[in-house]
Structure 1
Amino acid sequence: MDTTPTTTAGAPARVHAHYDNVKKLGHWTTDRRFEVRARRGMVVLDLRSPRIPDGDIDIELDLDHSMVKLLVPQDARIDHWDLRHTGRGRVKDWTGENGGGRTIRVTGEVRHGEIRIHRGGVATLSAMFSREFVQDVRRARREGGTPTVADPAYED
């Protein structure tokens, strides 16, 4: 699990997956702006951490034959109006709920790819079925703490 912030002040956090799977889970950032580039890869971004300051979150995508999974709070609003699609692909938000929570604005271009939105309990399960969760549980046991990958809102 990569827990180090990936940006400097003012610049967006950058996530790059070139023929790779990249998972950013738990308390991995305090940014509200992200740039994601993926080519034939998969990116998982956990945006449930209370360490992310209040306000809208902006995600600029450049996907080519790739998938991005966003783990968001249950009441998050997803705005993908300015997202351009080329070829097959779509935004999969099975519950489709747009509650009164923070707005997550997704922009950019998707070429033959998709964005999956996992909310609430489904987001927790997505995080739990990962190697990063197992590593976090082992770390928490060694240090006598509590794992935070499954639910970043829960802190010691």
Structure 2
Amino acid sequence: MAEYTFTPTRHVERFNVDHTVVKRLGHWTTADSFEIRARGGAVVLDLRSAELPADLEIHVDLRRASVKLLLPEETEVDHWDVQWTGRGKVKDAEKGTTLPATRRVRLVGAADNSEIRVLRAGVAAVAAIFTREWLDDARRARKEGRLTNLDDPTRNPYADPHRAA
């Protein structure tokens, strides 16, 4: 009898954005693959959660759109497989970091007059804090007596902030 090997399918999160803004912040998925189709809109993905796999793949199909990726500091971004038409580029201020990469994000697809911004570490936390979602989470956290988790998804929201570790 022939031996078959089972190859698990990838868990894919799909976004279809048409002239609107979609934000996913904090612990929102454990997927390893993302598909973003955006026309005239913006997508903000928080990929700083420790529950995410080490290798992520993002397929993009962008037309006059913007994608903002919030990443941990030690993440390598590979964007050589994105085909650009018109104006646009990947804006990554810290692409020359000296930290060893513990996570890899691979971007593939096509972008027409669009941009992909990569925000890491503290800049990513500030970008998450200046959102309506963070304000709502801060209000809920105060009522529940816990810390917020949208600014730092790796932190335990129920830890005592005044106790020394």
Distance 2:16 2:150 in 1: 21
SS at the partner of 1:134?
helix
* Structure 1, unaligned runs of 5 or more: 1-8
The Cα shift of 1:59 comes to 0.3
The Cα shift of 1:40 comes to 0.1
Distance 1:96 1:11 in 2: 27
- The answer to which structure has the higher strand fraction is 2
Task: Show the 5 A alignment for 1:141-156.
Answer: 141-155=142-156, 156=158
Task: Show the 5 A alignment for 1:1-156.
Answer: 10-53=10-53, 55-98=54-97, 99-155=100-156, 156=158
Distance 1:37 1:151 in 2: 27
- When the two structures are superposed, what TM-score results if normalisation uses the length of structure 1? 0.90
Distance 2:10 2:115 in 1: 28
- When the two structures are superposed, what TM-score results if normalisation uses the length of structure 2? 0.85
Larger radius of gyration: 2
Contact 2:11–2:32, Cα closer than 8 Å, also in 1: no
Letter aligned with residue 104 of structure 1? V
Q: Deviations over 1:10-43 (max 9, x none)?
A: 4410122110011100011111110011100000
* Structure 2, unaligned runs of 5 or more: 1-8, 159-165
SS at the partner of 2:88?
coil
Contact 2:82–2:107, Cα closer than 8 Å, also in 1: yes
Letter aligned with residue 30 of structure 1? T
The Cα shift of 1:118 comes to 0.2
The Cα shift of 1:96 comes to 1.5
Which 4+ stretches in 1 moved above 6 angstroms? none
Distance 1:19 1:67 in 2: 11
Percent identical pairs in the alignment equals 45
- Of stretches 100-109 and 138-147 in structure 1, the one that deviates more from structure 2 is 138-147
